[in-house]
Amino acid sequence: MSSRRKFLKQTGLATLGVVAASNQACQAADTKHKSTNITKPLAISTWKNGMQANEAAWQVLNNGGRALDAVEQGVKVVEADPNDMSVGYGGRPDRDGIVTLDACIMDETGNAGSVCALENIKHPISVARRVMEKTPHVMLAGDGALQFAKEEGFVEENILSEKAKQQWIEWRKTSEYKPLINIENHDTIGMLALDAKGDISGACTTSGLAYKMHGRVGDSPIIGAGMYCDNEVGGAVATGMGELVMKTLGSFLVVELMNQGYSPQQAVEEAIDRIVKKIPGYQDFQIGYLAINKSGEVGAYSLHKGFNYALYANNTNNLIDSGYYLK
């Protein structure tokens, strides 16, 4: 049997297992497969905060707007929300008490922009978009990203909220450097949109691991790791412990699997399987993937129970539990 056919066969079996476990994500995806009128436009984003992000994205999509504008407007809502302590303003700081932000964006032409380790700017996603649109580069880091942001008119401000500061002061009493992302400490927003024209874009933005080493950059701003789109195929975003996603270039893997004929659900399950096969100690971390394809089919899967996502399609915004690997 060719390795590709073997691969497809294995993935098909894995999918059957999940359907048997009647996971909600699969049901949502299957419902989509059968329907003819719930495809375009749609917005999908990670975690509960994706609900408010989707609302903003829908304003754009429902008016015939561009997927790129939808994902930027969507994730900006969460960047500005101090209650989300993994993104933008109010994000938890690194172990030195400094909030450093990572974000990336990709449009339907395959253009991409990103910033990492950016300080003092509330909306890193918009800086990432400027990098994409106004520079010949894809990624700007740290001081250079801040310099560019200021040149572009972004205003420096304190983005360490009082709540995040107090939690960090509390954490410093033990200063245990234990970068677990599992039950809590994660609500990074990754978002994908398919607009009425059928174009796909994606965005991902985060303050990264709480109390990370200063200078640590995760998967979220890395094109192909935290997010990837190919307008002929689909898009994917990742959330959770970025190191595992980076080691497997997760979002690119998901999109490439779809390019090879996998459904979004099969592709995200295979990307989780890849982590299970390749990364010792994977059980200690949470990873979640979302994917969409050109036809508006969606996929969602995570390592552990507890990952959910918001799907806005057919004029309805729903929070859905993802299927998961570790039963």
The residues that are catalytic are 188
Q: How far is the CB of 322 from ligand SD4 (least distance, A)?
A: 13
Contact range with ligand SD4 by CB under 6 A, out of 105-113, 129-137, 185-193, 302-310: 185-193
Tell which positions 194-223 bind ligand SD4, by CB under 6 A: 206, 208-209, 218-220
Establish if 186 lies at the interface with ligand SD4 (CB under 6 A).
yes
* CA 184 to each of CA 101, 123, 241: distance values in angstroms, whole numbers, following the listed order: 19, 23, 12
Rounded to 5°, angle at Cα 79 from 302 and 57: 75
Among 188, 263, 308, 322, binds ligand SD4 (CB under 6 A): 188
What's the helix, strand, coil split of the chain in %, to 5?
A: 35, 20, 40
Q: What are phi and psi of 82, to 5 degrees?
A: -70, -15
Segments in the chain forming alpha helices (H): 3-20, 24-34, 50-62, 67-79, 124-134, 142-151, 162-172, 242-248, 250-259, 264-278
Among 224, 240, 299, 323, binds ligand SD4 (CB under 6 A): 240
| CA–CA gap between residue 327 and residue 320 (Å, rounded) | 18
| CA–CA gap between residue 128 and residue 29 (Å, rounded) | 31
Helices (H) and strands (E) in the chain, counts: 10, 13
Q: How far is the CB of 179 from ligand SD4 (least distance, A)?
A: 9
Among 52, 114, 120, 239, binds ligand SD4 (CB under 6 A): 239
Among 181, 191, 229, 249, binds ligand SD4 (CB under 6 A): 181
Among 11, 86, 231, 251, binds ligand SD4 (CB under 6 A): 86
Tell which positions 260-319 bind ligand SD4, by CB under 6 A: none
Q: How far is the CB of 263 from ligand SD4 (least distance, A)?
A: 24
Establish if 49 lies at the interface with ligand SD4 (CB under 6 A).
no
Q: What are phi and psi of 231, to 5 degrees?
A: -65, -15
Query: Which one, 15 or 188, has the nearer CB to ligand SD4?
Result: 188
User: Whose CA is closest to 88, among 60, 144, 128?
Assistant: 128
Kindly list the residues in this chain that would bind ligand SD4 in the complex (CB under 6 A): 86, 181, 186-188, 206, 208-209, 218-220, 239-242
